[in-house]
Amino acid sequence: MNIEKIREDFPVLSQKLKAKPIIYMDSACMSLKPRQVIETMNAYYYEYSGCAGRSSHKLGKKTDEEYHKAREMIAKFIGAKPNETVFTRNTTEGINLVANSIGLKPGNVVLTTDKEHNSNLLPWQILANKGIKHFVLESNNDNTFNIDAFQQILEKHRPKLVSVVHTSNLDGVTNPVKDIAKISHEYDAVMIVDAAQSVPHKKIDVKHIGCDFLAFSGHKMLGPTGTGALYGRYELLEKMHPFLVGGDTVVKTTYINADFEKPPEKFEAGLQNYAGMIGMAAACKYLDKLGLDDIEKHEAELNRIITDEIKDIPGLRIIGPADARLRAGIISFTIDKIPSHDIALMLDEMQNIMIRSGQHCVHSWFNANNIEGSARASLYLYNTKEEAQTFIEILKKIAKLR
């Protein structure tokens, strides 16, 4: 991969702030967007800007065509079929959709893990208030998935549904979702993958994983903000009742009843984010062309370089396994006596190094472990070895301040 050439596609990176280049290491939250995505969206706004599925005029038809192509592209990107791919605003909406539509009943058990993002915790907590039982699986001491404990919980509590994060935004650890899906199915549980941090960074094939649902976000994978998709096994989508209803979800209504569309349309109520989904498809195309295997390797190499250099800084502790190969493109760390927000502010002030600090929407894990928060650098295809070196150098200076 020619990183310098790739960087030319990202307009944000061509700027300088206070005469210094931007070193963007917050892609786990929000990725930058290449010109190819921006131009594809602009084409929608400048050239056709219609509504899909309703208007029979030329601009409506063009929108319809591009929107259909976008669904095909996004579905193919994760090895799914278009009719199994529901457009959403983000990962959060995908998980909420399943939680509210799958028909869980009081007494049913749902199992998640101790490292879930709030978007894979709160939907189940809300249902717990209505009588479902929510269990949380503890990770191993190094934050990796505890498959033995998982099997024991399945045996004991027989969950109806298992919902786990694929790659954790807390520490970068990737859970063995193929095994988790297989074991869940042996116990007749539905299995959901929160793939917000995996789809942008590695090749994903939902059929290979064998999950029933998989949710991800466009804005973390070079796509427009407020875009996402949910893969669902068709037989399950077909049986589910939409929780958000309205225009475009029905074939026919009378004053007292309605015939719903087939999936995925029955879950997509109201006018949709046409520009966004067409832009998200452009992001898939862009990533596909570069090759996700190479992107994954590049991030792993940068993580190795950073980890090797920072792991022995006095007072610094990396969250998750010591081995960088187990933490994808994420380095989440604390430094004794320096609050995580101060670390992030100093990196930004000193060298425009932009990282995230705090609890990364995994408050539950930080609270359970009595940790105030962490500083988190998250890498992507546009980060360079030179940027990694600058990050190391500035971090060493900051660590000396304690």
Kindly list the catalytic residues: 361
Distance CA 285, CA 38 (A): 13
Residues in the chain: 402
- Strand segments, DSSP code E, in 233-296 are 250-253, 258-260
Q: Which is nearer to ligand PLP, 115 or 298 (CB)?
A: 115
Q: What minimum distance in Å lies between the beta carbon of 216 and ligand PLP? A: 8
The CA radius of gyration of the chain, in Å to the nearest whole number, is 22
Q: Segment 91-120, which members bind ligand PLP (CB under 6 A)? A: 91-92, 117, 119
Q: Which is nearer to ligand PLP, 97 or 190 (CB)?
A: 97
Q: Segment 350-379, which members bind ligand PLP (CB under 6 A)? A: 361
Distance CA 344, CA 315 (A): 16
Which range in 11-19, 56-64, 193-201, 384-392 contacts ligand PLP by CB under 6 A? Answer: 193-201
Q: Which is nearer to ligand PLP, 120 or 307 (CB)?
A: 120
Q: What minimum distance in Å lies between the beta carbon of 359 and ligand PLP? A: 12
Q: Is 353 left (phi over 0), alpha (psi -120 to 50) or beta?
A: beta
Give me the 14-33 binding string for ligand PLP, x by CB under 6 A, dash otherwise.
--------------xx----
Q: What minimum distance in Å lies between the beta carbon of 386 and ligand PLP? A: 27
Is residue 196 a contact point for ligand PLP (CB under 6 A)?
Answer: yes
| β 374-378/330-335 pair status | antiparallel
Q: What minimum distance in Å lies between the beta carbon of 117 and ligand PLP? A: 3
Q: Which helix (H) or strand (E) holds 67?
A: helix 58-77
- Cis amide leading into 264 (omega within 30): yes
Is residue 90 a contact point for ligand PLP (CB under 6 A)?
Answer: yes
Tokens 């807390």 correspond to 170
Backbone angles phi, psi at 214, to 5 degrees: -150, 125
Is residue 169 a contact point for ligand PLP (CB under 6 A)?
Answer: yes
Task: Report the first-to-last Cα separation within the chain, whole angstroms.
Answer: 39
Under the rule (CB under 6 A), what is the footprint of ligand PLP? 28-29, 90-92, 117, 119, 165, 169, 194, 196-197, 217, 361
